[in-house]
Amino acid sequence: MTSAPAAVPALEMRGVTKHFGATVALEAVDFILRPGDVHALLGENGAGKSTLVKILSGALRADRGEMRLDGRPYHPADPLHGRRSGVSMIYQELNLAPHLTVEENVVLGTEVHAGGFLKRQDVRKRIKDTLDFLHHPEIALDSPVRRLSVGARQIVEICRAIMDKARILVMDEPTSSLTREDTERLFEVIGKLKTEGVSIIYISHFLEEVREVADAYTVLRDGRNVGSGRMAGTTLDEIIQLMVGRTIADLFPRLEHKRGKVALSLNSLKGRRMAGPVDFELHRGEIFGLAGLIGSGRTETLRTIFGLDAREDGLVEIEGIKALKVKPWHMISLGAGLLSEDRQGEGLALSRSLTDNITLSRLRPYRKFGFLSLRKRSQAARQWMGELKIKAQGSGQAVANLSGGNQQKAALARLLHQDADVLLLDEPTRGIDVLSKAQIYEWMSRLAGRGKGILFVSSYFPELLGVCDRIAVFFRGQVVDVRPAAAWSDESMMAAATTGRA
């Protein structure tokens, strides 16, 4: 595989163009992937990244342009054809059948059989070997995939790709739901794949990670290739500038805000799914970060505060008022609002309109004799859409059709419309584009300036350091330490989150 002359790219896309009706998704995009490279494909949501990789995989067909794999023309008819040609996709939404076992998932669609009856012996050996090669021998072949962690599921997908003899692996946001530890292990796997001559297209919004793992980059903006190059010698600022088309003066805009009296206090709060009791206070006009690895108890703490999980012990007070009932409607009436980490699953009613989603948690102002004033309601929704710069055709558009960033802004708009005083934000910037992120940071800061208290859960340390006033680090369900943000660093937070020692 190293015998191929360096001049022949593993993948060459030339002048790839795709229009959807009047919308230009891709316009004459060139994309060159060298063998054994990890090539980062960057751009805001809607820039055309997924259209490009869908064309590569065979899920979509380009209007114009040509593709070559190892110098040979390549025109996939469908994803299966793409897969057989050596192009495998590892999607953001994992493409596994949860009820089937590891083995069944790996061989799905390529089962070895005699007259329709399955033959399993040799295949099992090969899967075992591949998992060993990936340094994940602990994954049991007969375990149903739904019992595996997200990280392990990803390894199963990679295992499937390798057994397909994939030459090009497309990874779409592979680390967005991984712990730091699993991310490191994934990077090891990527390193191993490179040594085998596999080329990887790596799509991610985590730019620090991209710098760590990628050899080359290509930035798309508005369906065009606005810059490609080697990662070495390029700064992140340059890349961000390419992505947004202008310099973001400050990724973490900080508006003046002053810490006021206590807005939320937890006294030995212990929820059904929380490992230990948690104590802390959140003040008005404060952004308080909860850092830690995935599964360290931050989400569970938010859910217990908000009454989504049963409370076993302890006390929650908002503005000095004890929350007596462990129910979301009660917490909302006390002035709390939650933004769920699972935007599509529970954060939004995807098939409903922006108006419905934004106003759902506070319909009282539009109620007259039990009837809703629809006009006033959509007026209010439009106002918040304007404030948050939500891009949509109108307030009646279904949330499902919006980009991730706009969906997240709609979820935030609901809390603003609700006029919550204590905002519980769980991974509010996960999987959204840089510009939307910056806007959400700015709003958090603005809200703090208006005297709101904000709990901010994130697995992405740089944003916590950039946005928060104080940060608590969680480890196995317990708060390790609370310090002002200035007293933490990336390293000290990682140390506290992985060892439990401050």
**Residues that bind another protein in the complex, under the rule CB under 8 A:** 79-80, 83-84, 89, 94-100, 104-105, 108-111, 113, 116-118, 147, 160
Q: Provide the CB-side half-sphere exposure for 211 (13 A, CA).
A: 11
Least separation in angstroms between CB 165 and another protein: 14
**Please, which residue, 94 or 502, has the CB nearer to another protein?**
94
Distance CA 296, CA 498 (A): 10
Instruction: Kindly state the tokens that stand for 140.
Output: 């049991």
Rounded Cα–Cα distance for residues 249 and 230 (Å): 24
Nearer to another protein, 94 or 244 (CB): 94
d(CA 232, CA 296): 34
Instruction: Tell me phi and psi for residue 74, to 5 degrees.
Output: -140, 115
8-state DSSP, 364:
G
| Residue 305 structure tokens | 């505060």
Are 31 and 9 in contact by the 8 Å Cβ rule? The answer is no
Q: Which residue number, 179 or 395, has a Cβ lying nearer to another protein?
A: 179
Nearer to another protein, 96 or 168 (CB): 96
The nearer residue to another protein, 19 or 81, going by C-beta atoms, is: 81
Closer CB to another protein, 147 or 376, in the complex? 147
- Residue 205 in contact with residue 176, Cβ under 8 Å? yes
CB of 273 to another protein, least distance (A): 11
- Closer residue to another protein, CB minimum distance, 111 or 313: 111
CB of residue 99 to another protein, shortest distance in Å = 4
H or E stretch including 171?
Answer: strand 168-172
Of 88 and 406, the one with the shorter C-beta distance to another protein is 88
Cα separation, 53 vs 58, in Å, equals 8
Q: How far is the CB of 487 from another protein (least distance, A)?
A: 37
Q: How far is the CB of 341 from another protein (least distance, A)?
A: 17
Distance CA(259)–CA(262), nearest Å, equals 9
Q: Least distance from C-beta 219 to another protein, angstroms?
A: 27
Residues with Cβ < 8 Å from 75, sequence gap 6 or more?
Answer: 67
User: What is the side-by-side order of every strand in the sheet holding 422-426?
Assistant: 336-339, 422-426, 453-457, 286-291, 470-475, 478-484
Can you tell me the distance from the alpha carbon of 147 to that of 352, in angstroms, rounded to the nearest whole number? 32
Give least dist CB 139 to another protein, A: 14
Query: Residue 261: what are its φ and ψ, rounded to 5°?
Result: -80, 175
Residue closer to another protein (CB basis): 119 or 135: 119
87-90, strands of its sheet edge to edge: 87-90, 168-172, 199-203, 38-42, 216-221, 224-230
User: What DSSP state is assigned to residue 453?
Assistant: E
Backbone φ and ψ of 13, nearest 5° = -115, 130
Distance CA 482, CA 265 (A): 14
Compute the least distance from the CB of residue 398 to another protein, in Å.
18
CB of 44 or CB of 157, closer to another protein: 157
Q: Select 19 or 84, whichever has its Cβ closest to another protein.
A: 84
Which residue, 300, 297, 305, 304, is CA-closest to 475?
297
In contact, 425 and 456? CB cutoff 8 Å:
yes
Structure tokens at 25: 């998704």
Burial of 113 (0-12, 13-18, 19+ CB in 10 A): exposed
